[in-house]
Structure 1
């Protein structure tokens, strides 16, 4: 079997280009396949094999090099930033959002969605996680989705509510939505960086992952007690690995980010107001497409017939804007988050009213 089509459960430890001492320690403790090595954390491998941190790093790099074919394109992203003719997109399912993004979330670089708590960032992420699984004739890519949670439990109940709405609209994938949604909780920055370098490349190949969502990118860096220098280096490493993953495997990467207070109303991020995306310029320079979500001061009032009764509902109108992107002009649009998910604002179906403060 070639390296390009290796079985993750095949014993490869004796085939690795690595110090025999390291290979023997791994084999002695049952670490013989690419899968059981790469799904383990560095600290776990150290503890169970007695190897040093440097030895474990060599082991994981050797496994990754053995099973992962080299990228077909240079890593100094992007090769031709203005040419989007060959770029594919994951549709948001909302025409207004797709229009300002020229198709949706691109399979190129890192796309960031930032905004205040409660603005609806995760709602967009969940809808994208469902849309990517749809067959191509329904606007999807028939791909698995990897969803990494870093700060709270995955909103399974909300996802199921949206799944019901998708089924009602006849938007049904080949397999059940939950079968192709791979959820993982990662609490710290080092584990996140290791996951992106070692575990995700194997998972992408094994399960045909087309979309990676990290919710949220800032959480693991804000809670760390490590110094600024350590955080900066890990953030830079993570960004590089995400770009490499996106380019090598044609994976769309969505990073959901938090916001922090701005020092002035006009700041170097090109955003007017009293908030800016978290993680500063060190992260901003790694982001390819930056989007910001906010709530407006208006609601959309609509009459819905539920269980045979006419019910009046009000939904806060949301705004998404393109802050920066090499191939997109600055633009914004309004949309709604309803029980069914992220939807277009259809003015002929209701009335706009001011929100109750």
Structure 2
């Protein structure tokens, strides 16, 4: 993109009082941003309010600094294979799936393996969920992320803590043996010159080498609370389906699921304990028609008719699980998959509390049991 063209697009984005809807009306009427700014007040006022027309004739105070920062960001050199770009609504690389939405971003800032990106939502699935998942929920997110990547799907999520991070990690592992596959896409709620949360800095760097980081927000944009629900529409828009791993009833993940449904996309949900607040959002989705998911095949059965997805070998895993179940530890059988306290387990097993603590610790060290807040224990399903 030429500097003058970039400056025009950034000016349109930063013009106060002119939102995305207004900007798209102007572009539809007059063409490129440079043409918009060349219009007379009279012409502009046929499309926008007098205040907006006046604003369009003034150069935003922050434009020069934003243009310098953006130009410098584009010029930075990244790890081998990683690229930087800004895609406008008129760019041929701009995803058609986003153009079909009611509110497509004017600009997309993109960092990573742009060369591997294909505008094919049927090859992508969103995996979202709680920022504070149970240990089992986090394990499920990673396992499904890995399995989806192994099946040839690009995993899309939001780089948040919890389920998002686990799904990204799983996808990166699942696609490690396929260097020509776009492993995962992180749609973020800040400028791409920032990583939020900071503890995901290493993960963001890894995604830039094996996947993509995408933002509609200009460089320097901080993690404002309103940005994250808004970016969820892009997560839904870039995919053929959305899998909710764990979510409370007021979770932002349910926004992504609703948007996916409104866009005609598939919605999947993993059930959990009826006693877990983190499972209530998934249960609500299932009641509303989302597909109950127990394994990767439940996802592939719905998506395979829509796209060419690699077959995932699951027979051997099923046989292994059956063999493991036949030799199940009596304490694990008594624990089940609902969280339980020490007193309840003493009543179920008849084992003395001291000995029970020892056995639970051994199972915890073997990653078969997780210790939850409130003195509860939860059995971990094997992946």
- TM-score normalised by structure 1 residue count: 0.36
- TM-score normalised by structure 2 residue count: 0.34
- Which structure's CA Rg is the greater one? 2
From the two aligned structures, give the one with the greater helix fraction. 2
- The structure whose RCO (Cα within 8 Å, separation 6+) is larger is 1
From the two aligned structures, give the one with the greater strand fraction. 1
